[in-house]
Amino acid sequence: MEPNPHPNLHPFPTKRLAGAFILIAVVATLFFFLWAYKDILTDKVLLRDFITYAGPWGPLLIIVIIVGEVVVAPIPGGIISVVSGFLFGPWLGSLYAYIGSVVGSCLAFLLADVFGQPLVEKLFHEKQIKKATDYLHRFDKHLIVFYIFPIFPVDILSFLLGLTRLSFRRFAAIVAIGFIPHTLLLSFLGDYLFLAPYQIIALLGALALLFVLIYFFFTLHKK
C-alpha cells in the first residue's frame, strides 16, 4: 500500500457520506408522505379508514407512519399505536407498532449521530431540548423507563441520545426491550377502546400513572 502523499489530509469519508445521503433520502421520503396525508393522520377515524382501505399493505403502512412520526414528529405517536391495536388486534397491532417504534427511534439516533446538534436544534424548540436534557441527566441510569412507559416524547429523547457517547448497540438494546410493554399497552388499549367500559380504561390509566409516579418518587429520593 502506497503512503499518503498528503499526511495532513484525512481520507474522504465515503462510507459515512453515503450513509448520510441514505438517511437524508429516507427522511425526505417520510416527510413528503406525512405532509401529503397530514389531514388524514391527525384524525383517528380518517386514519383508520385510510389504513383499512390499504388492504394487505395496511401493516406496512402503519409501520411507515410510525417511523415517520418518530423522525418527523408531526403527530402524536401514541395515536398510531392505538389505531394499530384497533385495526389489527392486540398482538399483530403491537407487533407492527413495535417494529415502527424501534426502527424510527434507531433512525432518529443515527440522524443525530451523523448531523449533530444543528439538526436537533432545527427539529425541536429550545424549551423542549432543555426539558428533555434535564430528564436525561436526572435519570441517565434508567433510560429504559422512558421507552417502557409512554410518559415523555421518545422522538426527542432518541435524537438527544444520538448526541451522547451512548453506543448505537446499547441504544438499540434499550429501545428493543423498552418498547415491548410500551406498544403492548397502547395496542391493547386500541383493541378494547370501543369494547371496554370507559370506567375500566380510566382505572387502568390511573393505575399505570400511579405506578410511574411512585417509581420516579423513589428514584429521586435515592439521589
Q: Which three cell numbers stand for residue 168?
A: 448505537
What's the pTM?
A: 0.68
pLDDT tens, 110-138?
A: 999 998 999 899 888 899 899 889 988 88
Distances in Å between the Cα of 92 and the Cα atoms of 139, 173, 195 are 32, 21, 18
Q: Give CA torsion, residues 18, 123, 72, 216, to 10 deg.
A: 110
Report how far residue 148's alpha carbon sits from residue 125's, in angstroms, rounded to the nearest whole number: 25
The number of residues making up the chain comes to 223
**185: three-class secondary structure by DSSP:** helix
Confidence label for 51 from pLDDT (cuts 50, 70 and 90):
confident
Q: Which three cell numbers stand for residue 18?
A: 453515503
